[in-house]
Amino acid sequence: MAQVLEFKLPDLGEGLTEAEIVRWLVSVGDVVAIDQPVVEVETAKAMVEVPCPYGGVVTARYGEEGTELPVGAPLLTVAVGASEPGDMPAPVAGPPAADPAVQPAAPKAAGSAGSTGPSSGDASGNVLVGYGTGAPVARRRRVRPVRSSAPAAPRIPSAPAAGPVNGASGPVPVVSPLVRRLAREHGVDLRALTGSGRDGLILRSDVEQAIRHGVTQPQLQAQPQLPPRFRAQPQASTATAAPVAASRPSPVTAQDGAVRVPLRGVRGVVADKLSRSRHEIPDATCWVDADATELMAARTAMNAAGGPKISLLALLGRICTAALARHPELNSTVDMAAREIVRLPAVHLGFAAQTDRGLVVPVVRDAHARSAESLSAEFARLTEAGRAGTLTPADLTGGTFTLNNYGVFGVDGSTPIINHPEAAMLGVGRIVPKPWVYQGELAVRQVVQLSLTFDHRVCDGGTAGGFLRYVADCVEQPAMLLRTL
């Protein structure tokens, strides 16, 4: 007899608490193999294919494409032991699935009472990222708030109980710390919202809608503290009046044809990180022009010798690691809680890459221990993965210094924002022929502008200038790198 098991959205690592369903790879009734990818989701850092640890027949899917689910929410149910749809157990009447187009066949979670879990032949036993199938899943208490017949939209109580707005007892049905942080930053009282997620879960979209409607703590606290017998009567009028008054668009956003693009996924994370960097890091920028003629000639000679091609970005990366060895202050981060500068022993070199999904910064691990050839291969691999949307969260985190080659966009210079929590970023403009004084005579040379944006807490201008000058000297005389070998 087939056993129906529920597979939930696993922990995807790096503290990610939610993901958006981009594309289902299986349909109800399909037979899936153990560890077969069943859905493609987009997290805040990467596009990920999620494999199902069970083998059998898909009996239900939860969530349509475009739906955002928290970690731990059901993804699908699988009839383990069934080899075709006819082997599935008869469905039992019950509440509808999260996907209105699909009715689940009475899913039974692995590790639930009366279940011994899948046999070794029905599950991989692999401990994947955040989940596995080798042992029953521990039961967890779930918050099930009272359902309301009203539409799932932010709701403001007409008058909160006496005391602080958040003084009510009982847990708030929010899983994501990102949602809590968003609410905290905008002063939104989560207890005043009715979640639109499964079991009343408050999602990011609920908080964003509350922000747009002006549902903030100061507004709630300003309402009169009435006795309980008077609270129900004015609820409808107050709940509707506040959003109407606060939702009046500004003259800019009220323009006809204005398009709103949600700050979600990669774009949302980039926005948060850049805002945090600008808010927390006292940055400064210095720049210098350099003659890159010899560097370009050296690259041409290296590639003419045969073997794998070496990219210009790889040579610049090799120069960066050599410069960081001389100026380790710039390969560091600031721990403000401990009021310490933490100098890091390894150089994990990030590089800015533009993709169809926005700007991403893949990280080359242990770049200081790599040759130009190894750097070139790793840059190419990560760039291709970024364009294909297959970068993993591990590929996008842990950087200690960033190289930004904005010259590919045809610009000469820039003052980039530091990739928090790093301490510096080297920018490289386009390399173009320009008049240059070379050996005492005016000549046409290949000139590039280099800029260094650095955290002024980790070093002063002398260290930053010394780093940038060494980089420029290596660009002008690549043979200087031989001293670091």
| pLDDT computed for residue 372 by the predictor | 93
CATH fold, domain 3-132, is OB fold (Dihydrolipoamide Acetyltransferase, E2P) (2.40.50)
- Within the chain, all domains assigned CATH 2.40.50.100 are found at 3-132
Residue 377's pLDDT is 96
Catalytic residues: 456
pLDDT at 434: 96
CA-based radius of gyration for the chain: 28
Say which residues have a Cβ less than 8 Å from residue 326's Cβ, sequence separation at least 6. Answer: 466, 467, 470
Could you tell me which CATH class the domain 266-484 is placed in? alpha beta
Q: For 248-300, give the secondary structure using H, E and C.
A: CCCCCCCCCCCCCCCCCHHHHHHHHHHHHHHHHCCEEEEEEEEECHHHHHHHH
**Mean pLDDT for back-to-back runs of 10 residues, the chain (485 residues):** 85 71 90 90 76 91 87 90 60 43 40 41 48 43 46 41 41 63 79 76 81 58 42 42 48 77 75 87 96 96 91 96 96 94 96 81 95 95 88 88 92 90 95 96 97 96 96 95 71
Taking only the tens place, the pLDDT of each residue in 142-157 is: 444 444 444 444 443 4
Torsion of CA 41, 42, 44, 47, to 10 degrees: 100
pLDDT in tens, 197-218: 766 778 878 888 888 776 554 4
Q: Where in the chain is the domain with CATH 3.30.559.10?
A: 266-484
- Residue whose entry in the numeric block shows the structure tokens 């709940």: 239
End-to-end alpha carbon distance in the chain: 66
Q: Which fold has domain 165-226+234-246?
A: Dihydrolipoamide Transferase (4.10.320)
Each residue's pLDDT tens digit, 4-29: 899 998 877 655 677 888 889 999 99
Whether the bond between 421 and the residue before it is cis, its omega within 30 degrees of 0, is yes
Q: Distances in Å between the alpha carbon of 155 and those of 100, 166, 231, 237, 351? A: 24, 15, 14, 12, 44
Torsional sign, CA 234, 237, 242, 245: negative
Q: Give CATH 4.10.320.10 domain extents, the chain.
A: 165-226+234-246
**Which helix or strand (DSSP H or E) is residue 4 part of?**
strand 3-8
Distance CA 273, CA 284 (A): 18
Residues 6+ apart with CB under 8 A from 113: none
The two structure tokens encoding residue 215: 């549902």
| Chain center to CA of 410 | 28
The tokens describing 366, both together, are 């242990």
* Cα distances (Å, whole numbers) of residue 450 to 320, 404, 413, 427, 470: 12, 10, 7, 6, 11
Q: 420 with 280: CB under 8 angstroms?
A: yes
Task: Burial-class residue 360 by CB neighbours within 10 Å (0-12, 13-18, 19+).
Answer: buried
